[in-house]
Structure 1
Amino acid sequence: MKMINSSIIAIKFLMLVTLAKICVSQDFDFFYFVQQWPGSSCDTKQGCCFPQTGRPASNFTIHGLWPNYNHGSFPSNCKSVENAFEESKMSDIIPRAEASWAALSCPSKKKTNSTNSDNMKLWKHEWEKHGTCSYSVLDQHAYFDFTLNLKDHIDLLQILLNKGIKPDGDKYSVEKIREAIKEATGFEAGIRCNTDASGNSQLNEIVLCVDKSAASESFIECPILPDANCPEDVEFPIFGVSQFIDTA
């Protein structure tokens, strides 16, 4: 009898430890809201693939909404039975997500013969790696709806165009890009770069910070910006048939 009671106590203790770990993993300080320029994702050695819905619009697309800690690290993969990804919870926001949160990564040739990227696979990955860690604040539907609302709330491309910074393949000052965003939003942005097939640095991601409460589509000053990996001047690559090029 004592052995049975000891086993029950041990099981309960393990359950409490597991629950504590889940609660800790879902405790975070702020969100990174990350948008990426599709031209920079495609203009690499790896290239890109478009979803079955076709080429995304010539605009920034969402990469993700990522819980972060003030000291620079972040929680991830806080999965549990309660917050498992369910495709059915995406049904009413799929059209918005397809327009603003498009997958660009090419599928593995070993796993599929498709040449299209997979939006649902991207959304599942973003929820499982990042969204689950915000489950105490946002359930799956709210996570995607809130992120899409953030995208609607700020038009990064128009902000840059207003300052003469356009996706025409030319080089632009990273400092000028930051200044344009700060003037429009009131907050400092993180600028991330990648390299094209020729090794040239190009504007890839723009990161803004959002309060952990997700109470509104308002941004905050970043407690810590992502590591800068850009030179002083970067290319802003063309994506698709660009109406932003001055042909005069």
Structure 2
Amino acid sequence: MGFKAWVLIKLFVLQFLSFLCSSADFDFFYFVEQWSPSYCDTKQGCCYPITGRPNEDFGIHGLWPEYTTGEWREFCDRENSFNASQISDLIGRMQKDWPSLACPSGDGTIFWRHEWEKHGTCTSLDQHSYFEAALDLKKKANLLQVLENGGITPGKIYNFTTVKEAIQEGVGYRPVIKCNKDPANNTQLYEVYLCADTSAKNFIECPVFSHGIPCGSSIEFPSFSSDSELHVAI
């Protein structure tokens, strides 16, 4: 074997080993969805996308690679910038299921770019696979339907444990629920964390649990018309 061939083989092996290391360089995903009315129902408020008010539904916040130590990596490949042309066939689903409610109004591109460059570049997935995996996990979880099946609908107040158990029963795995505050300082359901394996295809039990604002014993599940009086269903 010539020297040049040996060098090429060595380079190939190193690249392959590097790929294996990068593909296994985290332990699980947090798949995070946020309740759109709760995002808007704060003192900060929100701006609807240029496509109009989103459906009263959970929207994807992100798909985040994590370690069981509670640590994570960010912005792992600054050369791998977001390229909307790589997900052109997913845009319709993205606008529906991954809307941006930040101000000023936009088409979602800034939000998606941030999620890819901060989190997606720390996975072994390409851009299309990363966003498609998140969209498929949302469809698989089907949180709004799961809650409805448990008798939990927007515009009311519920026992926190009832909400958590409904999600666990419907999805099959324990969720992490985070809350925020409405302008009257009431606690409301804001985000639901589920965990997925490193392929981003299957839900798993969360190895560790993220912490946030304690939700308390009862939480609002607001609607976009939550300025009307809430009906209590504890």
TM-score scaled to structure 1, two decimals? Answer: 0.79
In structure 2, the partner of 1:80 is 78
The amino acid that maps onto 1:144 is F
Verify: 1:160 aligned to 2:158, yes or no.
no
2:146, 2:171 within 8 Å by CA — same for their partners in 1?
Answer: no
In structure 1, the partner of 2:9 is none
Q: What are the Cα deviations for residues 97-136 of structure 1, in whole angstroms up to 9, with x where unaligned?
A: 00100000112xxxxxxxx2340000000101111111x2
Q: State the shift of 1:87 in Å.
A: 1.6
Q: How does 1:29-178 map to 2 (within 5 A)?
A: 29-81=27-79, 83-107=80-104, 116-134=105-123, 136=124, 138-168=125-155, 170-178=156-164
In structure 2, the partner of 1:110 is none
CA pair 26-44 structure 1, distance change in 2 beyond 3 A: farther
Q: Using the alignment, how far apart are the partners of 1:144 and 1:205 within structure 2?
A: 19
The amino acid that maps onto 2:210 is P
Q: State the shift of 1:39 in Å.
A: 0.5
Q: Using the alignment, how far apart are the partners of 2:107 and 2:43 within structure 1?
A: 20
Verify: 1:180 aligned to 2:171, yes or no.
no
Q: Using the alignment, how far apart are the partners of 1:65 and 1:204 within structure 2?
A: 16
Q: What are the Cα deviations for residues 149-197 of structure 1, in whole angstroms up to 9, with x where unaligned?
A: 11111210111111221111x2211111111111112210000000111
Q: State the shift of 1:24 in Å.
A: 6.5
* Corresponding residue to 1:230 among 192, 212, 215: 215
CA pair 25-73 structure 1, distance change in 2 beyond 3 A: farther
Q: Using the alignment, how far apart are the partners of 1:97 and 1:118 within structure 2?
A: 10
* Corresponding residue to 2:193 among 207, 214, 227: 207
Q: Which runs of 4+ in 1 moved over 2 A?
A: 23-26
| Secondary structure, counterpart of 1:209 in structure 2 | strand
2:29, 2:198 within 8 Å by CA — same for their partners in 1?
Answer: yes
In structure 1, the partner of 2:180 is 194
Count of residues paired in the alignment: 210
Q: Using the alignment, how far apart are the partners of 2:70 and 2:216 within structure 1?
A: 22
Q: State the shift of 1:79 in Å.
A: 2.1
1:26, 1:78 within 8 Å by CA — same for their partners in 2?
Answer: no
Unaligned ranges ≥5, structure 1:
1-15, 108-115
2:95, 2:107 within 8 Å by CA — same for their partners in 1?
Answer: no
The amino acid that maps onto 2:112 is W
Verify: 1:221 aligned to 2:205, yes or no.
yes
For the aligned residue pairs, the C-alpha RMSD in angstroms reads 2.2
1:63, 1:101 within 8 Å by CA — same for their partners in 2?
Answer: yes
| Secondary structure, counterpart of 2:113 in structure 1 | helix
The amino acid that maps onto 1:148 is L
Q: What are the Cα deviations for residues 35-90 of structure 1, in whole angstroms up to 9, with x where unaligned?
A: 11010000001100011111101111111101111011211111232x22112112
2:78, 2:117 within 8 Å by CA — same for their partners in 1?
Answer: no
Identity of aligned residues (%): 51
